[in-house]
Amino acid sequence: MRIVSLVPSLTESVAATGALVGATDWCTHPADLDVTRIRGTKNPDLEKIIDLEPDVVLANEEENREPDLQALKDAGLKVWVTKIRTVDEAFAELRAMFEDACRTQAPAWLDAAERAWRLPEPATRLKAIIPIWRRPWMVVGRDTFTGDVLRRLGVDNLYDDHPERYPKIPLDELTGKRPDLVVLPDEPYAFTPDDGPESFPGIRSALVSGRYLTWYGPSLVEAPGVLRKALAVV
């Protein structure tokens, strides 16, 4: 098998198979990944991908652009597109990707991740907003993997019923919601202790790794414990 991945979390998922020959510039895990780089998730170098002659190209309906995926299909390549908006969908889609697209057994970490996410019902629940960008402010809305991850940890997204999945919301409206918690990931916008929390005075902020909050791969094994600690939930 020769595999090209257009999604960082899928790259990390299949890297250990030894079949990966191409990945995006944003694919940072594993740290020692040595494959051909094919630019970004939204602007892949289609010619370079075709020249790699992959048996399958791994993509995601949210991360990648349909015109790019269609161009690869038109060139005769097999494109496997995942659709993952819940933790349970992540397990099912990853298992199918390994067995059907990559023609290999699902790795042991996938079983471990499923066990790790068999969580008891949280004793208390918090209401939160989850900004993903500023200038303009954008937050996590409805029907997202991130929202489901937090829900399972006892954190309810105040914009879960918004008609858009990633709406632009003025800051005064965000603070007016009076959330218990503001969850600030380090991607796609790199929120830091000095860039983000100051916009929400009087509201507890939790800085979290986007890899544990938004990636569906080996990080799922550690994600429940890491995020519970960062969010201070029990």
Q: What is the mean pLDDT of residues 187-202?
A: 97
For residue 234, pLDDT beyond 70: no
The percent of residues above 90 in pLDDT, for the chain, comes to 96
Question: How high is the pLDDT of residue 123?
Answer: 84
What distance in Å separates the CA atoms of residue 110 and residue 123, rounded to the nearest whole number? Answer: 27
122, containing H or E segment: none
**13: confidence class by pLDDT, cuts 50, 70, 90:** very high
Asked if residue 188 has a cis previous peptide bond (ω within 30° of 0), the answer is: yes
What distance in Å separates the CA atoms of residue 217 and residue 91, rounded to the nearest whole number? Answer: 9
Question: How high is the pLDDT of residue 15?
Answer: 95
**Residue 53: left (phi > 0), alpha (psi -120 to 50), or beta?**
left
User: Full-prediction pTM beyond 0.85?
Assistant: yes
For residue 122, pLDDT beyond 90: no
CATH class of 126-231: alpha beta
What distance in Å separates the CA atoms of residue 202 and residue 87, rounded to the nearest whole number? Answer: 31
DSSP E strand boundaries for the chain:
3-5, 20-23, 36-37, 56-60, 79-82, 126-129, 131-133, 138-139, 155-157, 181-185, 204-208
**127: confidence class by pLDDT, cuts 50, 70, 90:** very high
On whether the CB atoms of residues 8 and 209 are closer than 8 A, the answer is: no
Q: What is the mean pLDDT of residues 187-206?
A: 97
- In angstroms, the Cα distances linking 182 to 95, 141, 160, 163, 222 are 33, 14, 14, 20, 22
Alpha-carbon Rg for the chain in angstroms: 18
Question: How high is the pLDDT of residue 88?
Answer: 97
Residue ranges of the chain that CATH labels 3.40.50.1980: 3-106, 126-231
Architecture in CATH for domain 3-106? 3-Layer(aba) Sandwich (3.40)
What distance in Å separates the CA atoms of residue 158 and residue 168, rounded to the nearest whole number? Answer: 14
Q: What is the mean pLDDT of residues 138-160?
A: 97
The percent of residues above 70 in pLDDT, for the chain, comes to 100
